[in-house]
Amino acid sequence: MKSGLSASAVAVRRALPPDRVIPTAIPALDRLLGGGFPRGALVMLEGNAGRWSIAARLVATVTHRALAAIVDDGGLYPPSLERAGARLDRVLIAPARTPLGIARAVDILLRTRACRLVLVLTAPDLRAAVWMRLARLAQRAGVLLVAIATRASASLAGAAALRLDCTLERVLVYGTRGLWCTFAGYDLRVHVRKHHGFSTGATPAHVRAVNVPAGAMARERAIAPGSQTQAPQRRERKHAVVR
């Protein structure tokens, strides 16, 4: 089975110089961001779904040419990164479970300047002064610092240069109808909540993450707006997965 991410067209923002961004390899998301994630910035991925999929694609892009570091609180599954295209021989893993341990690991990784990307799988609740110090270290080192959380704390939201909110829109299934169908992926709506380089409020990017056999027919099940806890609507639409 193969996995991939695709995205629909969105309004193009003013492009940043290529040497100032790290592309996500998701075309519409890169257009939304003016080329990709800004180098030397603290970036926040928040929401109810898809954050790790975007992060995995980013790790894959970075490790084609450079090193990436992941501060792991125990939730990392390296084979998933490898299936997303990441080179595991270029991934540094720093185990850390406590907020203090995570902050220290990030501090050390940023000061070494050995990695182009530092990814925090679960953003801890740190004081505003700590997040601001880490954001300044990332800026001075020219390293992209990405933190993942369901919702950013006030201290992290204030320090972040970019905040992306990822919302689940629909799920994709294939195979037998009913209880025995197989989960194939999902569609996300990615909205820019904050960006130091641009004004917010632009058209969100629509991102599709799929994991189905080549040529398989998948069906969409829409999620009721404003509620990801309700059962998917019964109306389905068949479509062929295109990569």
Task: Supply the DSSP string of 13-41, one letter for each residue.
Answer: PPPPPGGGEE--S-HHHHHHTTSSEETT-
pTM over 0.85: no
Which candidate, 46, 22, 44, 42, places its Cα nearest to that of 33? 22
Mean pLDDT by 10 residues, the chain (243 residues): 53 61 88 90 92 92 96 91 92 96 98 97 95 97 96 93 91 70 80 75 74 67 54 40 33
Q: What are the structural domains of the chain?
A: 15-168 (3.40.50.300), 169-240 (no CATH)
Contact 192, 32 (CB under 8 A): yes
Distance of alpha carbon 113 from alpha carbon 125, whole angstroms: 24
| Cβ(58)–Cβ(117) below 8 Å | yes
H helices of 51-189, where?
51-63, 78-83, 99-112, 128-141, 154-159
Cβ–Cβ < 8 Å for 117, 71: no
Report the pLDDT value the prediction gives residue 207, as an integer from 0 to 100: 82
